[in-house]
Amino acid sequence: MLLLYLAFRGVDFNSLVEDLKRANYYWVLLSLFFAVVGYVSRAYRWKLLIEPLNYNPPVRNVFYALMVGYLANFDFPRIGEISRCGSLRKSDKIPMDSLIGTVIIERAIDMVVLLLLLFVIFIAKIESFGLFIKENVFIPISKKFINTVDFSIYYWLIIVVVLATLVFMFYYFRKRFKRVKIIIKIRKIIRGVISGVKTVTKMRNRSAFFFHTILIWAMYFLMTYVVIFAIPATQSLKPIDALFLLVIGGLGMAEPVQGGIGAFHWIVSLALSLYGISREDGLVFATIQHESQAILAILLGAFSVVMLFLYSRKKRKNNI
C-alpha cells in the first residue's frame, strides 16, 4: 500500500475520477478479451508441462488452478505459484513438488522472453528507451546488488567458515542424515521438483508449447496496445511504445507486492512521461489497465475457487 500511496501522492482524485469516467471502455473490454485468451493459452501450456509426469488433468481444472493462483497473488506476493499448484494437487492428485518444478520452468521461460523483449526495445530506441531502462532498471538493480555484497571482509569470512563447517558436517554425518525423517522428506521434495523441471525435455508436443508461449506474449502485447486508445493522452502512441509499456509494466508486476499494486502504477506513469504525458494522465492509463485486469483476475479466481470446490465434492461423491 505504501507504493500505491507514493504513486498517487499529490494527485487530484476528483480530476482522476473524471478522466476515468471519460475513458472509452470499448478498448478496455477488448483488452479483457485478449487477457482471457492469454489465460486459456497459459493453462494449455502448463498442461503440456504436466503431461510428461504421467498425469492428464482436464484443461478446465488447470485453468481454474491458474486463476486461483492469480487471485492469491492479491493476498500475498508470489503466493499464487504455490496456490495454483496446491489447487491442482487437490483436484487431480498430482504431486505438489512435481507441479512446483513445472512452474519453475514456466516462469524461467517467461523471464527469458521478458529479457529478450527488454533487449529489443533497448536497441530499437536506445536514445530514449535505453536511457530510461538504464536509469530506472539497470542502475537500481546494480545498486541493490552492491548493497547486498558490500559487507566487511570479516562478515564474508564468517559466512565462508559457517558454510564450510555445514558442508563438512553434512559430509561426515551423511549416513546418519539419510535416516532422519525430515531429511528423507526434503530429499523426496527435491527429487519431485527436479522431475517437474525435467518435463521440459520430455514434452511430446514442443511445437505446441512454443506456440502457446508466443500466443501468451502476443496477448499480453495486445492487452497493452488496445488500452492506449482508451484515453486521448495516449492515442498517438505506436506499437513499439506499447511493447515498451508491456515490458516496463511486467517489471512493475514482478515487484514483491500484492498484484503489483502501486509498483505498476508508478513505473508505467513514469515511462509515459518520456512521451510528454503528464503524471496524472499516466496514472489514468495505468489505473485503467491494472484495475481492469485485476477485477477480471479476481472474478475469474473467485469463480474458479467455487468450480474446483464443486468438482472435488462431486468426485468424492462418485468415489463413495
Rounded Cα–Cα distance for residues 108 and 189 (Å): 20
- The predicted pLDDT at position 82 comes to 92
Place of cell 559457517: 162
Report pLDDT digits (tens) over 121-137. 877 766 666 666 666 65
Structure letter (DSSP) for residue 204? S
Place of cell 502504477: 265
Please report how many Cα atoms fall inside a 13 Å half-sphere around the Cα of residue 128, on the Cβ side.
Answer: 12
Rounded Cα–Cα distance for residues 225 and 234 (Å): 10
Place of cell 508505467: 268
Rounded Cα–Cα distance for residues 301 and 280 (Å): 30
Most trustworthy range by pLDDT among 20-24, 147-151, 269-273, 316-320: 20-24
Q: Mean pLDDT over residues 306-320, rounded?
A: 81
- The predicted pLDDT at position 86 comes to 93
Of 53 and 187, the one with more pLDDT: 53
**By C-alpha distance, which of 301, 308, 293, 250 is closest to 107?**
250
Percent of the chain with pLDDT over 90: 42
Report pLDDT digits (tens) over 210-265. 999 999 999 999 999 999 999 999 999 999 999 989 988 888 787 767 777 888 88
Of 71 and 263, the one with more pLDDT: 71
112-116 long-range CB contacts below 8 Å, 24 or more apart?
113/213, 113/217, 114/247, 114/250, 114/251
Give residue 35's pLDDT band: very low, low, confident or very high (50, 70, 90).
very high
Q: Are 84 and 50 in contact (CB under 8 A)?
A: no
| In the predicted structure, residue 197 carries a pLDDT above the cut 80 | no
